[in-house]
Structure 1
Amino acid sequence: MTLFRQLMMTIIAIFSLMLAVVMGINFNTTKGYLVGQLESTTQDSATSLSMSVSDFMALEDYVSVESSINAVFDSGYFSEVRIHVYNNDESIVRSNETKIDGVPNWFIDLIDFKVPVAKAVISNGWSELGQVYITGSAGYGYNQLWLASRDLLISFFVIGSITLMLGSIALRYLFRPLAELEKQAEAIQQRRFIKVIDVPKTRELKSVVLSMNRMVEKLKKEFAAEAETAQWLQAKAFKDPVSGLGNRHFFENQMKSHFSERERGIDGLVLVSLTDLAKLNNERGYESADMFIQSAADILAKKISNISSYTTLARLSGADFVLLIPNFDHAQLKQVVEDVMVELMELNIASISYSDAVANIGAVTIDGSVERSSAMSQADAALREAKREGYNTSKVYDLNTGQSMAISRSSWKEMLELAIQHRSFKLKKQKVVTIDESPITLHEEVFMGLEHAGKIYHAGYFIGLAEQFDLGSQIDQVIISRVIEYIKSKKLEVPLTVNLSASSYAKPAFIEWLNNTLNHLEAGVKSKLMFEISEQSVLLDEQQASSLAQMLKTQHVLFGIDNVGKQFSAFQYLQNLMPDYVKVDSSYTRMAAGKESESFFMHTLCKMFNSLNIEVIATGVENEKQLVALKRFDLAGGQGFIVGRAKEM
């Protein structure tokens, strides 16, 4: 319960107590006054009646006596007027049933109103002729008590309502600094470092606000230092200082990670070799050589930014660059190579290259059956062939792509549209478990595939084409709908995680559709649904990723970010998105099980993410050595072949 509500309840309790005390005092005072007044009235009436009927009693004129009784009875609030005649031992009575109008029955039952009975002796001379008995009417007393209590209660209610309303406004005004402090504390918990701008004038609150602001500033600097350290270490180990691209070490790690995947699609591997870089360095100096390298790197980086966020680009050596483009067919690769060569040749026009001879390019298209060493050998052979043919030439090989490449782009589009229409994607799930002696399943990630001509194609074969055909959001909608149906039909113990493509949540219409879908789900079903997005897609459109994250948080649905650490980027986006967990790139898993100097990167990432209360999950856990090595780190869980294979849904 909030402090504001506690204070309001305290005020209401005190006000109610005051009302009860005042009403009690007022009630007893009013009741005593009414009883006293009724006693006085009945006694006066009894005395007056005894004197007025004494002569009639002496003459035994009982008709006149009765007339006097009627006159007295009708003139006051009496329930009974009775004269007892000693002479014949009879009573002359005038009475009426007490009727209490306008007073609730519960009030009558609750209040015990003592009705007074007045007596007076009728005498004539020294003789006592009888006695008068007058009983007051409780109706008058109840009526007056009810009116007094009701009016007092209404007055207190009106005054109390006005007081509470004004008090509420005043308290809200006084509590504004506390509300800001509460928001600030929640933001700190989420590692969003905000300051309270309006410092209150109240001395105690002012001191607290200023202390919180100082703490926020300190925490902000500490996190920025951690992120900067992680980024610096990453760049120091994996970044080429001249081109700004990944170095050979970075590329080798990414290649190992990519080729260790058990389900790969059609990939493009490109080698670019700049011509006469050594001559340029010797004759014009290292600055000209560096400009040549940087210009070529900019052309390549710009080109891949328009192709795929999953492309790996690195500088292998002085004049050599390499590109690994996942989910890319032969025709696309040839077109990219031609476009890159055209742009590189423009460096000669700008007098950046040494001569007309700018570069040679060798490329190869490979499928999942090709080993890493074979792929690099074939790409190198293509580059040698291009150099043999002369400067500014390129060569693109098609290496063992087989049946997978026999399907044309138009056929793939028809297959995908048909699969969307019939919701015929094949679904698998792979569990994510804790890394300890007794593993506990945290959640299960959903993978999709497509069957054609008796062969199952995993997502790597067609997801790139689906993005190009603008079918990504439709595929995601089908997968989400089928996963929801699966959750409803099964009693699941752990949630299922669905990966969302960048092209899906880049569309506001998709986020709106997903929000409406989640709105119509029961809480039990919604709790078994999670979502993931890749770091590459976040870096492409952080604003839309933020919109998706805010919507999922509003729906109380967990979400994570995949492939974290694969790109050279600052980690500040995590403070904006605040995912529930991150999956670090599988290259860090291999480094964690490698040299001690390389395992430090996993330790740094875990420390930084855990400081944000973000759980860390290792991916690509393929052997026992990696599993044992990962137990040294502060990881929430792991995913890979050794901890759980993908199973049919």
Structure 2
Amino acid sequence: MTLFRQLLLFILILILTLFTVSWVTRLQATRTYLQQQLQSHAQDTATSLGLTISAYSAQDDMAAAETIVNTIFDRGYYRLIVLRDLDGQVRIKRSVEVAMDTVPAWFIHLVPLEPPRATAGIMNGWFQAGTILVESHPGFAYSSLWDTTVNMTRWYLLLAALACLAGGMGLRLLLRPLARVEDQARALSQRRFEIQEPLPRTRELRQVVQAMNQTTLRVKTMFEEQARTAQQLRRQAYSDPLTNLGNRRYLENQVASWMDRPGTEIRGAFLLVHITGLKELNEEKGFQAGDERIQAVADLLRARTGGIPGAAVARLTGGDFGVFLPDTGLDEASHVADAICQRFWDQGAENHPLSDTGSIGGVVFGRKTSFSSLLAGADSALQAASGKGPNQWVIRRIPTRIEDVVRGRIGWKKVLEQAIAEEAIVLFGQACVALNDPQRVLHREILARLRESDGGLLRAEQFVPLAHRLGLITRLDRSVVEKTMALTKEQAGADQLAINISPTSLADGPFTTWLLARLEETGRDRPRLIFEFTEFAAVHHLELLAELGRRIRDLGHGYGIDHFGQGFANFGYLKSLQPDYVKIDRAFTRELVSAGSDSHFFIHSLCSVAHSLGIAVHGEGVETTDQHLLLRGLSLDGLQGYHLDQPREIA
């Protein structure tokens, strides 16, 4: 029972007690008063009759005496009048039965009134001639007492109701600070740090609110310190402090994690961007001018590759930048390099510091290639680009023993449109299992494949980047979601299914409207859906994702953050989003070689921050036994990877 109800019940009991005591006291006082009035009334009547009849007693005029008695009795206030002589003989008698139809019998029994009797003498001169007996009728007293009691009860009940209403309103007003403290505590359990202002005037409540505010601020400070510690560690280990891009270690991990994915086609591009004349600029205008040029190039590369899924940019040395473009062919890589160089020329026309900035060399690959080989090939192409003049680029293809299937832009668009129209999407699923119980499936992530006309399957890594560039990704996401929603729990082999949604679809209003409408139609026999968004989508569409996530949760489903740690976003956005879970990017899992490594400490710090917000943490890309054993020593909630479960076709 709530404190409000307890206090209200106490007030009700108190009012009832006061009402009962007052009611009984008032009733008893009224009864005593009426009893006295009856006694006085009977005595006055007896005395009056005695004096009046005595005047006729000397003439022995009983007729006149009887007339007087009848006149008095007929008024209705008497139950009995008896005139006796000295011998006790009844000379005159009038009586009536007591009838009180307007008063309940239980009330008469509860509040008895004894009808009083009074006597007076009848004189004949100096001698007594007889006696007169008068007994009052109690009916009028009972009727008066009943009416008084009913009216008194009504007034008391009305006053009690008004007192309860006023007390309840007063209690709500007085307890409002406690209700806000309850909301504040609930918000704190949900990792929302709310401060209650203004403070209540009541001293005790003020102290409680102040203590709660201090606790909230202390917990908020602890969370922010944890987040800063983890963020600083990640930046120190994987970030370039001048540009806030990744460093060589970060880029090497991104490339290696991409190359190590089992069962997938390996293809992509690697660009090496070199700033020309940086040493001379530092000597001529100082290091600040050189730093400004480096930061300008970093901003340009960040802006140009921001919309490419999985792209990673890093500063390798003083004036060299590396750009990794997964699932990118020669045409797409050439387009990116040409756009960057064209921007160099455009800025030069505006007398911007990027004029005559440098050269770009790159390679495209279609098989597993080491980072050093990519760097060597890009460096060779860079030398060729430098020989062509300022702001030039050269991109070469690394020879491969496996001939790629080459399709032009129009060919790929036809393939994708036909696959979507004919619903040639095949769903595979890979389990994310509990850390300490690999047999317990937390959810199964949906992996889409496209079935070609010859029966072969194209993996997502092959067609998703193309779908992005061809403007078909939203249609593709819609088809995958639609087919996933048709699965039952038995078909899915899990109670929860995770579906990846692209940033483009997240920002597409008609898509999100359709998605919410379809979720409302989902039956209870269907799996709970968890929509995964990349960290890039979370950071760049924070408000959109927060609103969509809230509405998804209202419909009984959930959402998570995928590839967490791939960018360098501040951990603070987790507090705003409150996703069901985050999945650590496979680059950190791959680098996890010992309990003392930076990745180990980063994952441990991330778990502390996420768990303090009530967010689960899953590790993906678990491919080896050593990785599994090291991750089991951390505070993760779930693991996913080929070492634990192979993707299998489910629809």
Normalising to structure 1: TM-score of the pair?
0.77
Q: 2:413 aligns to what?
A: 410
C-alpha distance in structure 2 between counterparts of 1:53 and 1:612, whole Å = 102
- Does residue 98 in structure 1 map to residue 96 in structure 2? no
Question: Which letter maps to 1:589?
Answer: T
User: Following superposition of structure 1 onto structure 2, how do residues 440-451 of structure 1 map, counting pairs within 5 Å?
Assistant: 440-451=440-451
- Per-residue CA deviation, residues 276-311 of structure 1 (Å, 9 max, x unaligned), is 668758986984766665444332222112x32531
| 3-state secondary structure, aligned to 1:627 | helix
Question: Which letter maps to 2:602?
Answer: F
Question: Which letter maps to 1:641?
Answer: Y
Q: 1:258 aligns to what?
A: 258
- Does residue 569 in structure 1 map to residue 566 in structure 2? no
Q: What displacement does 1:165 show?
A: 3.4
Q: What displacement does 1:334 show?
A: 3.3
C-alpha distance in structure 2 between counterparts of 1:636 and 1:143, whole Å = 75
Q: Which of 367, 371, 391 lines up with 2:368 in the alignment?
A: 371
User: Which has the larger displacement, 632-641 or 67-76?
Assistant: 67-76
C-alpha distance in structure 1 between counterparts of 2:247 and 2:483, whole Å = 42
Q: 1:113 aligns to what?
A: 111
Q: What displacement does 1:339 show?
A: 1.4
Q: Residues 198 and 132 of structure 1: is their aligned pair in 2 closer, same or farther, counting only changes over 3 Å?
A: closer
CA contact (8 A) 2:193 2:217 kept: yes
Q: Residues 26 and 467 of structure 1: is their aligned pair in 2 closer, same or farther, counting only changes over 3 Å?
A: farther
C-alpha distance in structure 1 between counterparts of 2:202 and 2:632, whole Å = 51
| 3-state secondary structure, aligned to 1:414 | helix
Q: What displacement does 1:628 show?
A: 0.9
User: Which has the larger displacement, 615-624 or 485-494?
Assistant: 485-494
- Per-residue CA deviation, residues 144-188 of structure 1 (Å, 9 max, x unaligned), is 32122112222333354345435644x15xx54x55555554554
User: Following superposition of structure 1 onto structure 2, how do residues 310-321 of structure 1 map, counting pairs within 5 Å?
Assistant: 310-316=310-316, 320-321=320-321
- Per-residue CA deviation, residues 348-378 of structure 1 (Å, 9 max, x unaligned), is 665968x969314324264xxx3244x9857
User: Following superposition of structure 1 onto structure 2, how do residues 326-475 of structure 1 map, counting pairs within 5 Å?
Assistant: 326-328=326-328, 331-345=331-345, 358-364=358-364, 366=366, 370-373=367-370, 377=373, 381=377, 384=380, 387-388=383-384, 390-391=387-388, 392-395=392-395, 397=397, 400-402=403-405, 408-412=411-415, 414-415=417-418, 418=421, 425-436=425-436, 440-453=440-453, 454-467=455-468
Q: Residues 244 and 505 of structure 1: is their aligned pair in 2 closer, same or farther, counting only changes over 3 Å?
A: closer
| 3-state secondary structure, aligned to 1:75 | coil
CA contact (8 A) 1:589 1:619 kept: yes
Q: 2:125 aligns to what?
A: none
Question: Which letter maps to 1:415?
Answer: Q
Normalising to structure 2: TM-score of the pair?
0.77
5+ residue gaps, structure 1, are none
Question: Which letter maps to 1:624?
Answer: T
Q: Residues 405 and 600 of structure 1: is their aligned pair in 2 closer, same or farther, counting only changes over 3 Å?
A: farther
Q: What displacement does 1:541 show?
A: 2.0
Q: 1:156 aligns to what?
A: 160
User: Which has the larger displacement, 595-604 or 107-116?
Assistant: 107-116
Q: What displacement does 1:588 show?
A: 1.8
Q: 1:640 aligns to what?
A: 641
- Does residue 585 in structure 1 map to residue 579 in structure 2? no
Q: Residues 2 and 157 of structure 1: is their aligned pair in 2 closer, same or farther, counting only changes over 3 Å?
A: closer
Q: 1:21 aligns to what?
A: 21
CA contact (8 A) 1:383 1:394 kept: no
Question: Which letter maps to 1:582?
Answer: V
Q: What displacement does 1:485 show?
A: 5.4
C-alpha distance in structure 1 between counterparts of 2:368 and 2:638, whole Å = 29
Question: Which letter maps to 1:270?
Answer: F
Give the CA RMSD over aligned residues: 5.0
Q: What displacement does 1:319 show?
A: 5.7
5+ residue gaps, structure 2, are 123-127
Q: Residues 242 and 132 of structure 1: is their aligned pair in 2 closer, same or farther, counting only changes over 3 Å?
A: closer
C-alpha distance in structure 2 between counterparts of 1:82 and 1:491, whole Å = 101
Q: What displacement does 1:585 show?
A: 1.1
CA contact (8 A) 1:113 1:142 kept: no
Q: What displacement does 1:246 show?
A: 2.0
| 3-state secondary structure, aligned to 2:591 | helix
- Does residue 620 in structure 1 map to residue 621 in structure 2? yes
CA contact (8 A) 1:100 1:140 kept: no
Question: Which letter maps to 2:627?
Answer: Q
User: Which has the larger displacement, 435-444 or 91-100?
Assistant: 91-100
CA contact (8 A) 1:190 1:575 kept: no
Q: Residues 382 and 206 of structure 1: is their aligned pair in 2 closer, same or farther, counting only changes over 3 Å?
A: closer
Q: Residues 16 and 134 of structure 1: is their aligned pair in 2 closer, same or farther, counting only changes over 3 Å?
A: closer
C-alpha distance in structure 2 between counterparts of 1:211 and 1:443, whole Å = 41
CA contact (8 A) 1:334 1:396 kept: no
Q: What displacement does 1:13 show?
A: 3.8
Q: Residues 45 and 282 of structure 1: is their aligned pair in 2 closer, same or farther, counting only changes over 3 Å?
A: closer
C-alpha distance in structure 1 between counterparts of 2:49 and 2:493, whole Å = 93
Question: Which letter maps to 1:114?
Answer: P
Q: 1:505 aligns to what?
A: 506
CA contact (8 A) 2:242 2:295 kept: yes
C-alpha distance in structure 2 between counterparts of 1:24 and 1:580, whole Å = 63
Q: Residues 168 and 270 of structure 1: is their aligned pair in 2 closer, same or farther, counting only changes over 3 Å?
A: closer
Identity %: 26
- Per-residue CA deviation, residues 22-55 of structure 1 (Å, 9 max, x unaligned), is 2333333334444554566578779989999999
Q: Residues 449 and 527 of structure 1: is their aligned pair in 2 closer, same or farther, counting only changes over 3 Å?
A: closer
| 3-state secondary structure, aligned to 1:408 | helix
Q: Residues 571 and 604 of structure 1: is their aligned pair in 2 closer, same or farther, counting only changes over 3 Å?
A: same
- Per-residue CA deviation, residues 238-285 of structure 1 (Å, 9 max, x unaligned), is 224555432232122112222333465785313224376687589869
Q: 2:229 aligns to what?
A: 229
C-alpha distance in structure 2 between counterparts of 1:330 and 1:279, whole Å = 32
Q: 1:299 aligns to what?
A: 300
Q: 2:630 aligns to what?
A: 629
C-alpha distance in structure 2 between counterparts of 1:450 and 1:629, whole Å = 35
* Aligned residues between the structures: 627
CA contact (8 A) 1:333 1:365 kept: no
Q: Residues 99 and 210 of structure 1: is their aligned pair in 2 closer, same or farther, counting only changes over 3 Å?
A: closer
C-alpha distance in structure 2 between counterparts of 1:475 and 1:110, whole Å = 88
C-alpha distance in structure 2 between counterparts of 1:151 and 1:282, whole Å = 95
Q: Residues 165 and 527 of structure 1: is their aligned pair in 2 closer, same or farther, counting only changes over 3 Å?
A: farther
| 3-state secondary structure, aligned to 1:596 | coil
CA contact (8 A) 2:444 2:494 kept: no
CA contact (8 A) 1:100 1:143 kept: no
C-alpha distance in structure 2 between counterparts of 1:146 and 1:240, whole Å = 88
Q: Residues 128 and 351 of structure 1: is their aligned pair in 2 closer, same or farther, counting only changes over 3 Å?
A: closer
User: Which has the larger displacement, 274-283 or 193-202?
Assistant: 274-283
Q: What displacement does 1:514 show?
A: 5.5
Q: What displacement does 1:563 show?
A: 1.4
| 3-state secondary structure, aligned to 2:627 | helix
> Larger radius of gyration, structure 1 or 2?
2
Question: Which letter maps to 1:565?
Answer: G
Q: 2:602 aligns to what?
A: 601
Q: Residues 157 and 606 of structure 1: is their aligned pair in 2 closer, same or farther, counting only changes over 3 Å?
A: closer
